[in-house]
């Protein structure tokens, strides 16, 4: 059975300890969390957790069932294989010496990124997009020297029927 990455959207009670139950479930059972993003929904009593995980179909089925078994989990959606929109924000601190500055700005522009901090020898670039776009930009910036990055992890919602 082949492993595949899955994007899960989980609605949970917005209570202390709930995130710990979920993270504990993953570490205790040896499941993998690749990224995790948590915040309140429109209803302040409910939070949405967006998570990317990886596993073969049997493992993914177990993950979803185990999540549903937690008393504080209201609903688990598996977005993978469905129509959805996904975004992630990344801050990239890249070395920008004189002779590369114009090139870096051009690349940033093409990706509709923004420079949010400038120094003598660096830019910090903010970019929003899906996985593919972010990887593409990181690949292009890598030769200049990426000093640090901070990623939010993916957030996602189903697409409504048009």
Partner 1 sequence: MSKLTGAQILMEMLKEEGVDTIFGYPGGAVIDIYDELQKTDINHYLVRHEQGAVHAADGYARASGGIGVCLVTSGPGATNTVTGIASAYMDSIPMVIFTGQVPTKLIGNDAFQEVDIVGITRPCTKHNYLVSDVKDLARTVKEAFHIAKSGRPGPVLVDLPKDVVNATTNFSPPGKVSLRSYNPTYEPNIKQLKKVVSLIRTAKKPVIFSGGGVVLSKAHEELTAFARKGQIPVTSTLMGLGAFPGTDPLWLGMLGMHGTYRANMAVTDCDLLISVGVRFDDRVTGKTDEFASQAKVVQIDIDPTSIQKNIQVSVPVVGDCKISLRQLNELLEGLDGPDLAEDRQEWLAQIDEWKRTTPLAYKQEKDIIKPQYVIERLYELTNGEAVITTEVGQNQMWAAQYYHFSEPGRFITSGGLGVMGFGLPAAIGAQVGAPEHLVVDVAGDGSIQMNIQEMATAIQYNLPVKVVILNNCFLGMVRQWQELFYEKRYASTRFQHTPDFVKLAEAYGAKGLRAKTPDEVEKVLSEGLAHPGAVIMDFVVEQEECVYPMVPAGAPIKNMLLV
Question: Which residues contact partner 1 by CB under 8 A?
Answer: 13, 17, 20-21, 24-25, 28, 58, 61-62, 65-66, 68-69, 71-75
In the complex, the smallest distance separating the C-beta of residue 123 from partner 1, rounded to whole angstroms, is 41
In the complex, the smallest distance separating the C-beta of residue 71 from partner 1, rounded to whole angstroms, is 4
Cβ atoms 73, 10 nearer than 8 A: yes
Which C-beta is closer to partner 1: that of 48 or that of 122? Answer: 48
Q: Cα angle vertex 19, ends 18, 25, to 5°?
A: 95
Which C-beta is closer to partner 1: that of 22 or that of 127? Answer: 22
Residue with tokens 């209570």, as numbered in its chain: 15
Which C-beta is closer to partner 1: that of 17 or that of 143? Answer: 17
Which C-beta is closer to partner 1: that of 42 or that of 71? Answer: 71
Cβ atoms 152, 89 nearer than 8 A: yes
How far apart are alpha carbons 117 and 51 in whole angstroms? 29
In the complex, the smallest distance separating the C-beta of residue 17 from partner 1, rounded to whole angstroms, is 7
How far apart are alpha carbons 67 and 77 in whole angstroms? 11
In the complex, the smallest distance separating the C-beta of residue 45 from partner 1, rounded to whole angstroms, is 10
How far apart are alpha carbons 36 and 131 in whole angstroms? 14
Torsion, Cα 136 5 30 21, to 10 degrees, reads 90
Which C-beta is closer to partner 1: that of 76 or that of 137? Answer: 76
In the complex, the smallest distance separating the C-beta of residue 74 from partner 1, rounded to whole angstroms, is 5
């Amino acid at each position: 059975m082949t492993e595949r990455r899955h994007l899960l959207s989980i609605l949970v009670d917005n209570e202390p300890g709930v995130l710990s139950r979920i993270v504990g479930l993953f570490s205790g059972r040896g499941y993998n969390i690749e990224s995790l993003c948590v915040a309140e929904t429109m209803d302040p009593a409910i939070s949405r957790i967006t998570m990317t995980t990886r596993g073969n179909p049997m493992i993914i089925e177990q993950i979803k069932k185990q999540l549903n078994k937690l008393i504080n989990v209201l609903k688990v959606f598996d977005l993978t294989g469905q129509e959805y929109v996904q975004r992630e924000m990344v801050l990239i601190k890249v070395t920008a010496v004189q002779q590369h500055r114009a090139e870096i700005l051009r690349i940033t522009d093409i990706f509709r990124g923004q420079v949010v901090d400038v120094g003598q020898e660096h830019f910090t670039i903010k970019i929003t997009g899906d996985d593919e776009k972010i990887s593409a930009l990181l690949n292009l910036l890598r030769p200049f020297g990426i000093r640090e990055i901070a990623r939010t992890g993916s957030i996602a919602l189903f697409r409504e029927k048009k």
